[in-house]
Structure 1
Amino acid sequence: MTQQYSTSEVATQDLKKKLTISEKEGQEDVAAKETEELRAEISSQAGHDHCASFDPVHKIIKGFKYFLDNKFNKYPQWFQQLAEGQHPKFLVFACSDSRVSPSHVLNFQPGEAFMARNIANLVPAFNKLRYSGVGAIIEYAVAELKVENILVIGHSRCGGIQRLMSHPEDGSVPYDFIDDWVQIALTAKAKVKAEYGNLPFEEQCEICAQEAVNLSLVNLQTYPYVQRAIQDKKLALRGAHYDFVVGSLKLWELETKISDPIIIPPS
């Protein structure tokens, strides 16, 4: 019976062969380079092999051990300080998309950013009767943690934005929650359709992703604690858009100012 090997096992065997050859020839530098390349290849190929053998518990345990070895046990004083309390400088609204974790994309470390993730990174306007989860996050971050920055970051090829832009005009809603949620950004959709309706759908979605960020920045100002913090110059609002196709980031700041008063003399 012929023995079967997974692609990762084949790559491992190839790695051993290359190391043996390199050692004999005294090519340590070449071996080291090829080792790293093949390790990356093994990791990539293992991702394809995992369909039938993926162990979620093993993944969780392995991930936590990696965190212990590379973060928790490596920087004990840092985590001792975090145990006493958190003082993040940022509140970040990001999408739930698995490809756009702010901790990776922006290299936020534990204690640096208070995170809120949802479909299409949307922030609804202040409403005590709806979206209390979002309201609680904003209130706690601004009123209690005193964050100095709120960042709303959108991204390319966002499924939530695509759903918003393709939402049927007849009002039918096949989803229980998604359609109701993305309609928070209907104003952004309307603007894109009016100004860029002649563009291909994909381009409209990319523009809408950024317009939805701007709408969320406007909606943030409807929260009283956000208003007060901005007026006291203790809080700045920023928008961003991460394009994971080309690896680029756009960052902009919402500028707010009070206009000069109009003086109406007594009659």
Structure 2
Amino acid sequence: MADEQFSQLANYECSVKKNQAIISEKAESESESESDEDESFDKVQPEHDPNDCYFDPVQKIVHGFKHFLSNKFHKCPCLFNELAATQHPKFLVFACSDSRVSPSHILNFQPGEAFMARNIGNLIPTFDQLKYSNVGAIIEYAVEELNVENILVIGHSRCGGVKRLMSYPEDGSAPFDFIDDWVNIAQAAKNKVKVEHKNLTFEEQCEICVEEAVNVSLKNLHSYPFVQRGVEEKKIALRGGYYDFVNGSFKLWELE
């Protein structure tokens, strides 16, 4: 049985490698026709119907990579040759994992410009060497190794993570182990909104809480010694952002 499984795995890996070669070769030989055939990055793709049984995820990946090769990789050889050797991003960006919020799209970041971190609610916990080390490692690497000059935390409209935080049951009967523990990082933002905006609707409170949660993350960044040092030496600037994909607007601010 083990030999049979290994044989199936080997066949699968061989198939994947062949497909990879085909993708690369086709993209190089058909770059001009591919540019005409595919939609450009600037054009909005039609909304995908989740009930469409003909959606092919493999073709989506293949066409997406071919489009990248034709419209980015082969058009900017100097850039990608430089990036092959090293990277010098100017930004560390924390954004939400929400599929509607891609910093590279909404802020037009190009390869090599931004070191990215995405999670539920674009949250940053306080410095803790025993917990959330993945976030700490991202910040430490960006600051200490890459010498980023800007850290940007982007919140967004209709955030599911913030909605979950705002509806979090106070009696301890939370049903989600991972999600509720994570969004609780911004509990201070929720408390502030509930006190200062108690007369607003739940939806209005959620939108205000999004910005307050960004402020909590910005304050938490100061708990990281290397960030605090960079801010004090004026080598790092911290900024918050709010992307409203309903009205098509972007707000940018700094904490005093």
TM, length-normalised to structure 1: 0.78
What pairs with 1:198-213 in structure 2 (closer than 5 Å)? 198-213=199-214
Larger Rg: 1
Give the distance between the partners of 1:48 and 1:157, measured in 2 at CA. 21
- The answer to whether residue 191 in structure 2 is matched with residue 190 in structure 1 is yes
Alignment partner of 1:44 out of 37, 46, 64: 46
List alignment gaps of at least 5 residues for structure 1.
1-35, 256-267
Q: Give the match for residue 6 of structure 1.
A: none
CA deviation profile, 1:68-99 (whole Å, cap 9, x unmatched): 00000111111000001000000000000000
SS at match of 1:185: helix
> C-alpha root-mean-square deviation of aligned residues, in Å?
1.6
1:158-205 Cα offsets, whole Å, 9 max, x none, are: 000000000011111211200000000000000000000110000000
Question: What per-residue deviation string (whole Å, max 9, x for no partner) do you get for residues 12-62 of structure 1?
Answer: xxxxxxxxxxxxxxxxxxxxxxxx9xxx89x637x3387111111110000
Rounded to whole Å, the distance in 2 between the matches of 1:227 and 1:173 is 34
Q: Distance in 2 between matches of 1:72 and 1:171?
A: 51
Q: CA deviation at 1:254?
A: 2.5
CA distance in structure 1 between the partners assigned to 2:50 and 2:116 by the alignment = 33
CA contact (8 A) 1:153 1:240 kept: yes
Cα distance in 2 between the residues matched to 1:44 and 1:81: 35
Gap regions ≥5 residues in structure 2: 1-38
1:1-267 pair list within 5 angstroms: 44=46, 47-48=48-49, 51-255=52-256
Looking at structure 2, the residues matched to 254 and 198 of structure 1 have their Cα atoms a distance apart, in angstroms, of 26
Name the TM-score, length of structure 2 as normaliser.
Answer: 0.81
Query: Is the 8 Å Cα contact of residues 123 and 216 (structure 1) preserved in structure 2?
Result: yes
What is the DSSP-based 3-state SS (H/G/I as helix, E as strand, rest coil) of the residue aligned with 1:54?
coil
The SS at the match of 2:215 is helix
Contact kept in structure 2, 1:165 and 1:205, CA below 8 Å: yes
Matches of 1:205 and 1:50, distance apart in 2: 30
2:171 maps to a residue whose letter is D
* Matches of 1:119 and 1:147, distance apart in 2: 23
Deviation at 1:231, TM superposition (A): 1.1
Alpha carbons 1:236, 1:254 under 8 Å: kept: no
How far apart are the structure 1 equivalents of 2:123 and 2:49?
33
After superposition, the Cα gap between the structure-2 partners of 1:172 and 1:71, relative to the gap in structure 1 and judged at 3 Å, is same
The one-letter code of the counterpart of 1:101 is S
Give deviations 1:128-184, integer Å, cap 9, x for gaps.
110000000000001110000000000000000000000011111211200000000
Aligned length: 215
**Taking every aligned residue pair, what percent have the same amino acid on both sides?**
70
> Residue in 1 aligned with 2:6?
none
- The secondary structure found in structure 2 opposite 1:61 is helix
Amino acid at match of 2:202: F
